[in-house]
Amino acid sequence: MEAISPTALRNNLFKIIDSVIQTGIPVEIERKGHRLKIIVEEKKSKFKNLKPRNCIVGDPDELIDIKVAEWDEEKIL
């Protein structure tokens, strides 16, 4: 990928941003030997931040068939 100058970016800022959004292809800007990228950031699911937890006491398969009338907290604990 060829980098563009900050001047070229300034002259075509909105066209370049729209192009990155539509195509998903990042654009690199080079200045004083450093390269920067304009990229589309994908939205992350809030569920990806959740940590798996082992909080079920007993056999989880037994919870599928349990009915509210059968609930006995002392028996389950």
DSSP three-state, residue 36 = strand
pLDDT for residue 20: 94
More confident residue, 62 or 24: 24
Burial of 27 (0-12, 13-18, 19+ CB in 10 A): buried
d(CA 62, CA 41): 42
DSSP three-state, residue 8 = helix
Name the phi and psi angles at 46, rounded to 5.
-65, -25
Beta-ladder partners of 36: 29
pLDDT digits (tens, 9 = 90+) for 12-52: 999 999 999 999 999 999 999 999 999 999 888 888 888 88
